[in-house]
Chains A and B, each alone.
Chain A
Amino acid sequence: MEGICKSFPGVKALDNVSFSVNKGEVHGLVGENGAGKSTLMKIMTGVYRADAGEIYIEGKKVNIDSVAKAHELGISIIFQEMTLCRHMTVADNIFIGRPAKKGPLIDDRQMHRDAKKILDDLGIDINTYTMVGKLSVAKQQMVEIAKAISYNARILVLDEPSATLTEREIQQLFGIIRNLQKKGVGMVYISHRMEELSQICERASVIRDGQYIGTRNLKEITMDQLVNMIVGRSLEDKYPKYERKIGDVVLEVRNLKAFNRLPLNVDYFCVRKGEILGISGLVGAGRTEIMRCVFGADKVQTMEVRIDGKPVKIHSPIQAIDNGFAYATEDRKYDGLAQGLDVEYNTNMAHLRQLTKLGFINDREGARNAEKYREMLRTKTPSIRQLVYNLSGGNQQKIVLSKWLCNNARILIVDEPTRGIDVGAKFEIYQLFNRLSDHGVVIIMISSELPEILGMSDRVLVIHDGSINGELETKKTSQEELLYLAAGYNKLEGKAAPVISSRSVS
């Protein structure tokens, strides 16, 4: 791809960007959120059309004007969001729209045989008769890859494939990628995780603010240098060092029992003033579910919550908010933001009561409020009237946080606060957390990224199977120990989970 330019209303998304992938290469594509990676890939796969620039495949100039054309040329993309039909079998999904036929009827047998062959070739072990909806996210992704390969893909784009996978699943994915490499498929691997890039890619290209910055051989460059290229300024450290002043216990939760999507059983945990409590565990262990219960969003069978030693009743988010809770959710699109409304509406969404006089909203106050938090968090948006879906992930996350910050929350629950956010924005968000804890705000941080948990929190709770399997002092633990507990190996070995705070604290 050479000299690609693309503009969207109000922004120049790509400016004269060039990019190339060799046969059998895994090429890393990195850049901050909103830098233009996805746009570039969408141009390559025919979702968007470039305003200027040319695309060559094996030296021949091609005109990719639709997704179908891209398929024809052997270019496939695997998006972060799955695009499979959940109610159809694996084989149906792989051959969707072009099933094997016997006369006018679909030849199911043949189709499943073909699907099996593709999966076996890739070293994926999935029954082709399984409904896709029943597979784990990782397996679904593998089906996606198989589907792409079945189009005889020569170039495969993986857009943050590891975002929702666990460590082991990522290794499986890498196995498949290496398999494809041997078959001569060129791949573009987009990821925010630097460690992964060094594992799987030979070269990486950096895009910043729609500009092509450079391509480097990953063996010749240190991670810090790469990060510098991405951010355009040096980051002293990924996690701001900070000495936190920890006070008395603010929040205590006891006897949490619930059965919604999975059984939860939490005996006791507490958080202190000015502390950041990390919640670690595998995806699906029940981390989010426990916090949803504490926030009153899900029903519980029993739960005792105390704030400053006083019992409080929390049956709904409204009560939780009244008690100073705030909950920045994991999925901005699903339950974090009203994407079709503007920045101002979203910022004030949990703050309406304070803006209301006799039932009327004070618009000027609302705008001032939105403007204030936009400046405070340095959210990049042309105006507070911009619709939220036009913003990049990092900026959307800032809106989620400003929504809660303006409520003067005392207990801030953040669920995967830096998912899909670039390095620079991450650092800003960490600094913000530090500033908040300075003001005595209690932060509960759910995160799948172990370095983030270790870098930011003071204490870690490891969740396994809906209950707490270990409480650790961050300074005295390691990634290995967290993983060990998260996977529940201590239970297999018959060891008790480590505990620090005892019930007698209160």
Chain B
Amino acid sequence: MQKMEKNENKNAFSGFYGNLGVATKRAISSLFLLIALFILFTFLRPGVFLSTNNIQNLLQQIVTYAIIGCGLTFCLVCGGNDLSAGASMALSGIIVVSLLVRGWPMWLCIVLCLIMGILTGIMNGYSIEILGVIPFVATLGTQWVYRGLANGLVNGAPVYTVDIPGESASVVGSTQWLFYQLGGGRFPGGLPYSVIIMLVYALILGVLLAKTRIGRQIYACGSNLEAAKLSGINAVGTRMFAYCMSGFSAAICGILVASRMSSAQPMAGNGYEMEAIAAAVLGGIAINGGEGNILNTIIGALMMGMIRNGLNLIGVNSYWQQVIIGLILVIAVANQMRRHRKSGSNAPSPLQQIYNRFFTSQAKAG
């Protein structure tokens, strides 16, 4: 009963707050949680947690899954899913470094890599939308193919940027130096470039999702595919676009990671797609599609990063971190379900929709 009253009060201060979308409201509530976490860790490890060094580290850590997460947000909001992001990230790293080692110009390597990312999306979209393969299997298939390719192309051995022809990375202006700057470079204060790249990228994707026609169409398809089709929305194209965004983001991420590590590992990015999904869900992206925006994902990524980082600082090892993050994730989804039940809508429950997402193809079969 108290919950009800609370809800009423929430509606009461209508005006500005009432005009915000559900996802934004959810982002705001996640933000409170984020601040709580921040304060918690600040008190647990005073001095250390808040040090410039640590904050910069934290931001650097979240770059990967924030970028992948932004792309995945498109898939999730559209009512789909993409399990191939991690593998496609590894492949893009391998491609970019291998080509650089062969002496190709850097801009060309990067462009080719990004094109590969988009092709991944088209491939996923094609099998899901045209062939009618269920998203779970289609993207899982792509994951295996790409992981295999990444390993096969280099025989399972990492490629190192030191093999790039020309002067070494210590020489300012050389290709090696330039490539390293992308992911590993820092501003004079120590803030990594890649954090800025992430923020700008998130901003662009956020605007794309919230303010453009294709963004609107993604929401429509995720919320009610049938209604969207009958409203004259090109559902196949829209969903294809969402998968392309995911592939594109994975490619960017692959380049940044290869750059920072000065090498491309064929096993890089293993499981990153799951981390990205987890971040998105933590931030409040509806697991059942049609709700959520980039802000949710970024907040979710920050939360993930902060939990990881904080636990590190208080001396919890990475195995136990996984246990904790897993539990938090389940609680986050349970919370979504509870909200869903409370809203009293007759739409299928999130559980049902998760099931649908993985095991039924929403593409028109035949």
Contact = CB atoms under 8 A, between A and B. Distances in A.
A10 B226 CA distance: 30
A345 B211 contact: no
B243 interface: no
Contact of B211 (A7, A333, A363): A363
B220 interface: yes
Interface stretch (A139-147, A186-194, A381-389): A381-389
A202 to B, nearest CB: 32
A321 B233 CA distance: 10
Interface stretch (A107-115, A149-157, A334-342): A334-342
Contacts of A8: 4
Given A352-B216, A360-B212, A389-B347, A341 B8 contact: no
B103 interface: no
Given A341-B223, A385-B19, A385-B20, A350 B213 contact: no
B21 A385 contact: yes
A383 B16 CA distance: 12
Contacts of B346: 81, 333, 389
Contacts of A382: 11, 14, 18
B8 A387 contact: no
Contacts of A356: 212-213
Interface string B211-244: 1111111011001101111111110000000000
Contacts of B291: 340
B328 interface: no
Interface string B16-41: 00111110000000000000000000
Contacts of A318: 232-234
Contacts, number: 121
A341 B219 contact: yes
B338 interface: no
Nearest to A389: B345
A494 interface: no
B155 interface: no
Interface residues of B, number: 41
B230 A352 contact: no
Nearest to B224: A338
Contacts of A353: 213
A212 interface: no
B234 A352 contact: no
Nearest to A385: B19
Contact of A339 (B11, B18, B20, B223): B223
A405 interface: no
Interface residues of A, number: 45
B170 interface: no
A140 B219 CA distance: 35
A389 B231 contact: no
A329 B227 CA distance: 9
Contacts of B226: 334-335
B1 interface: yes
Nearest to A295: B230
Interface in A1-27: 7-10
A334 B20 CA distance: 26
Nearest to A400: B227
Given A9-B10, A335-B227, A403-B231, A359 B213 contact: yes
A352 B4 contact: no
A370 to B, nearest CB: 12
B117 interface: no
Interface string A313-340: 0000110111000010100011111111
A338 B219 contact: yes
B11 A359 contact: no
A200 interface: no
A213 interface: no
B11 A349 contact: no
A345 B229 contact: no
B343 interface: yes
A297 interface: yes
A341, A345, A355, A389 pick with most chain B CB within 10 angstroms: A341
B224 A339 contact: yes
B231 A349 contact: yes
A358 to B, nearest CB: 9
A68 interface: no
A8 B10 CA distance: 12
Nearest to A362: B211
A167 B177 CA distance: 81
Contacts of A360: 211-213
A333 to B, nearest CB: 6
Interface string B286-297: 101011000000
Contacts of A336: 227, 230
Interface string A280-323: 00000000000000010100000000000000000001101110
30 contacts: A7-B4, A7-B8, A9-B4, A9-B10, A9-B11, A10-B11, A295-B230, A317-B231, A318-B232, A327-B230, A329-B230, A335-B224, A336-B227, A337-B224, A338-B219, A338-B223, A339-B223, A339-B345, A340-B288, A340-B291, A341-B220, A345-B220, A349-B220, A349-B228, A356-B212, A356-B213, A361-B211, A385-B18, A385-B21, A387-B22
Interface of B: 1, 4, 7-8, 10-11, 14, 18-22, 211-217, 219-220, 223-224, 226-234, 286, 288, 290-291, 343-347
Given A317-B232, A335-B224, A341-B223, 12 more contacts: A9-B10, A49-B1, A81-B346, A297-B229, A327-B230, A338-B220, A338-B224, A341-B220, A345-B216, A349-B228, A360-B211, A363-B211
| Smallest CB-CB A-B distances: 3 pairs | A338-B223, A335-B226, A321-B232
